[in-house]
Amino acid sequence: MTRLTRLRLLLALAAPLPLVAQAAGTGPDVLAEVIAAEDARNFDEPLLRRALLERDTAIRRAVYRSIGRLRDPRGLPLLKAALTEGDTLTEASGLFAVGLIGDTAGLPILTAHFRDRPQLSTSGARELMTAVARIGGPQAAGFLRSILLGSTGRTVPVEALERAALEAWRLGRLAPSEALLGLMSDDRESVRAAAAYSLGRLRVRAAAPTFLQVVGDKLAPVRLAAVRTLTKGYVDSTSLGADQVVGVLGRVLSDNDPVIKIAALRSVATYRNPGSVSRMLALLDDQNLNVQVQAAQSLGEVGGPAAVEALARILAEGKGTWARRAEALLALAKADTARFVAAEGPWGASRDWRERAVAARGWARVRRGELTRFLSDPDPRVVAAALEAYGGDGSGPPNLEYARVSAEHLGDRDPAVRATAAAGLASVGNPSDIPRLVAAFRAAARDSFPDAATAALGGITSILGANPGQAEGLERDAVASLPVPADPVVRRWAELNWPALAQQWGAAWPIRTGRTLDEYRNLVRTLVLGTEEQRYPKVRITMEALGSIELTLFGPDAPLTVANFLTLVDRRYFDGLRFHRVVPGFVVQAGDPRGDGWGGPATSIRDEINERRYGANTVGMALSGPDTGGSQWFVTLSPQPHLDGAYTIFGALTDGALTLHRLTQGDLIRSIRR
């Protein structure tokens, strides 16, 4: 932001706005125009000012939220009105929007509101702390430190203290770690849990003795934060002894909470201590199916004869969930090469592409030369999995053979294969490969999803970064040869990752949404302002052999996302698909017609970030970048605060929690119905 722009913004911030108009407007019609402008990413200030004159507080709250989602600093003066209306929900929406814009010019608004408001509402206190943390920087860090230390000169609501502690991790190295550490002995459970979460995310070394102590805390979120943090990499940077920590974590493997058991399995595995195997073996038959899956994975990390025998037995018996068997095969590839080779045959020759893909991932750990047959598989999903596995974790020196194989697949018909190949080709940083990536970008214009295009661009920028001495000339030539794409998601990628290219292409917004104003009006009258049943519709998801779950969708919070989801439900789009991604203790994810995580409906919707939070059993929209939502969605299996503000929340589980937590990767959806 230039000095002149910032001066104009500060002058605008000082200008008062009318609180509420005296004359009624057109209600739903005005809000429909606002949502249409938001959908087009068009900051229309006259429209927004007019919409804020509406009498209906529900409409004004929606407008304030839209201003935040547009993420334009010019919206900050408009948001000041929300803080003086006297309505606590409107105040919270305004504070939330200031944080979503994320500009440092919003900090004075937030701190002044805290200073001048005699008493903050619960929702207002929480959103103010979140907004400060999202904006970040030294001033934000100083403000949150004063909240955590109680040095503001006024009484701070416990809700503000809790949220400040929970969001402090966003500040990174500026986070007030010493203040968070002091809160670990707080009598209030919610405050202690919030501090533990941030300390764990920040991996504060000074917190190590405290984490070891609270592994047995009565509060599950505190135990979970401690167990997640106490990995070998973390402990090696502290004064704790590895053997002592392994012993403590081993006892946690019998915790009653399956999410904590899963976290303990992951952390214990990082030590590769053979003494842990006996406790881990018992969890291969745990009541929770995802504990079983994680136990198989962790046993592969630790290895040893007992682990290998147990994993081989799972494959020989062919019992249990598909996910447990697949993980057992991958674990054998790590723990015992010979036993993997003996067990892999039926998987590599299977008619099920998923099993061939698993076999390919296993061979990548054992003998990469065996991947040749998978790289010529008739199913592109297997090829993409094999190519990705060929690259490994990206550590170590550049792999010339991997780059050569990737180059051979850069012209593949399948966009997922091309996207994976672009990353592989760029891994060696050879400037002579830029023309190939430019050609791959051009070919991606016909794709149904943008990943191959953005991967090609990412590959070019990676090569530029690896060749700083030639970067200026290489970049100039590349920018000149890259045509302006029609997909706004690709143009947005350039704005975020390649400024010179974005300048050449011009602004990504506003866009043509393809929707009529009547469609937006109908959406507002039902999902935003309709009856309770219209605003919060329910869907029933029936699984094969597992029963069903019910989701309640949040129309007022994410109307476009909910409308898109319901449209797909009515088309029977999800029927017959699988939960293609299940991360034990984290999320279950579905909605991909390809089944490998790359698929979607060939259209995308914009993000609708809202004030909801990712607790357990929360429904969110999966993304591959900003505004790339389509058909893939997920449900959290435990609280995930780090997802807040990054992925659209559009629903929650309201029935069938036991069924949800029994889901494993590969489980089939029979139907989803309203």
Summarised one tens digit per residue, pLDDT across range 456-500 is 999 999 999 999 999 899 999 999 999 999 999 999 999 999 999
| Residue type (1 letter), 469 | G
| 529 and 669 assigned to the same domain | yes
pLDDT band at 36, cuts 50/70/90?
very high
**What number of CA atoms fall less than 13 Å from residue 39's CA on the CB side?**
22
- In a domain, residue 364? The reply is no
Helices assigned H by DSSP within 571-635: none
Same domain, 555 and 575: yes
Q: How far apart are CA 96 and CA 407, in angstroms?
A: 46
Residue type, 169: W
> For 416-428, what is the mean pLDDT?
95
Give per-residue pLDDT as tens, 98-130.
999 999 999 999 999 999 987 889 999 999 999
| Dist CA 520 CA 42 (whole Å) | 15
pLDDT for the residue 399: 84
- Mean pLDDT to the nearest integer, 434-446: 96
Please state, in angstroms and rounded to a whole number, the distance separating the CA atoms of residues 313 and 308: 8
Residue 443 has pLDDT above 50, yes or no: yes
Q: What is the reported pTM?
A: 0.93
Question: For residue 395, what pLDDT is reported?
Answer: 72
CB 303 within 8 A of CB 270: no
Region label for 673, one of left (φ > 0), alpha (ψ between -120 and 50) or beta (otherwise)? beta
HSE-CB for 267 with a 13 A CA cutoff: 31
Domain boundary among 97, 113, 135: 135
In angstroms, the CA 564 to CA 544 distance is 25
Count of beta carbons in the 10 Å neighbourhood of residue 519:
14
Give Rg (Cα) of the chain: 26
* Pair type for strands 633-636 and 669-673: unpaired
pLDDT one-digit tens code per residue, 211-263: 999 999 999 999 999 999 999 999 999 999 999 999 999 999 999 999 999 99
At residue 24, the pLDDT reads: 41
Confidence band (pLDDT; 50, 70, 90) for 508?
confident
Please determine, for residue 13, whether its predicted confidence score (pLDDT) is greater than 50: no
pLDDT in tens, 175-214: 999 999 999 999 999 999 999 999 999 999 999 999 999 9
Give the tokens for residue 658: 């036991």
Residue 461 covered by a domain = yes
H-state helical runs in 545-644: 559-570
Residue 10, pLDDT > 70, answer no
Query: Residue 380 domain-assigned?
Result: no
- Domain C-terminal end among 75, 108, 135: 135
Do the domain assignments include residue 164? no
Domain end among 135, 159, 189: 135
Helices (H), 18-172: 28-39, 45-51, 57-70, 76-79, 88-101, 107-116, 122-135, 138-149, 158-167
Q: What are phi and psi of 530, to 5 degrees?
A: -80, -165
Alpha-carbon span 667 to 323, nearest angstrom: 9
In a shared domain, residues 100 and 20: yes
- Residue 142 inside a domain? The answer is no
Q: Under DSSP, is residue 621 helix (H, G, I), strand (E, B) or coil? A: strand
Counting the structural domains of the chain, the total is 4
Closest CA to 41 of 648, 607, 631, 625: 607
Phi and psi angles of residue 635, each rounded to the nearest 5 degrees, phi first:
-125, 130
Contact 80, 72 (CB under 8 A): no
521 shares a domain with 501: no
* DSSP annotation of 23: S
Residues 524 and 669 grouped into a single domain = yes
Tell me the percentage of the chain whose pLDDT exceeds 70: 96
- Say if residue 484 is in the same domain as residue 534: no
Specify the CATH number for the domain of residue 215.
Answer: 1.25.10.10
Is residue 263 a contact partner of residue 230, using CB atoms and an 8 Å limit? no
Q: Which residue has the tokens 């937590």?
A: 661
CA distance 175 to 439: 44
Tokens of 20: 């509420």
What's the rounded Cα separation, in Å, for the pair 179 and 195?
Answer: 9
Cβ proximity of 34 and 62 under 8 Å? yes
Token look-up 């090569």 returns: 463
**Cβ 113 vs Cβ 84: under 8 Å:** no
- Which structure tokens are listed for 298? 């962790």
User: Counting beta carbons within 10 angstroms of the beta carbon of residue 357, is it exposed (0 to 12), middle (13 to 18) or buried (19 or more)?
Assistant: buried
Amino acid 214: pLDDT: 96
Rounded-to-integer distance, Cα 661 and Cα 667, Å: 12
Mean pLDDT for all residues in the chain = 94
Average pLDDT over residues 317-339: 97
Q: Are residues 397 and 340 in the same domain?
A: no
Residue 572, Ramachandran bin (φ over 0: left; ψ between -120 and 50: alpha; else beta):
left
Which tokens is 241 given?
């002894």
Residue 12 has a pLDDT of 40
- Same domain for 495 and 555, yes or no, is no
How far the first Cα of the chain sits from its last, in Å, is 47
Q: Is residue 82 part of a domain?
A: yes
CA angle 88, 92, 98 (to 5 degrees): 145
In a domain, 191, yes or no: no
**Are 410 and 298 contained in the same domain?**
no
Are residues 232 and 254 located together in one domain of the fold? yes
pLDDT at 119: 84
Q: Residues 498, 457: contact at Cβ < 8 Å?
A: yes
Residue 372, both tokens: 């040749």
Q: Provide mean pLDDT across the span 610-628.
A: 96
521 in the same domain as 647: yes
Query: Do 445 and 547 fall into the same domain?
Result: no
Query: Peptide bond preceding 510: is omega within 30 degrees of 0, i.e. cis?
Result: yes
Q: Kindly tell me the number of DSSP H helices and DSSP E strands found in the chain.
A: 36, 8
pLDDT, one tens digit per residue, over 518-531 is: 999 999 999 999 99
Q: Parallel, antiparallel, or unpaired for β 547-553 and 669-673? A: unpaired
Containing domain of residue 576, as a range?
A: 517-673
List all residues 6 or more positions away from 119 whose beta carbon is below 8 Å from its beta carbon.
none
How many angstroms from the chain centroid is the CA of residue 245?
30
528 in Cβ contact with 556 (< 8 Å): yes
Establish if 172 belongs to a structural domain: no
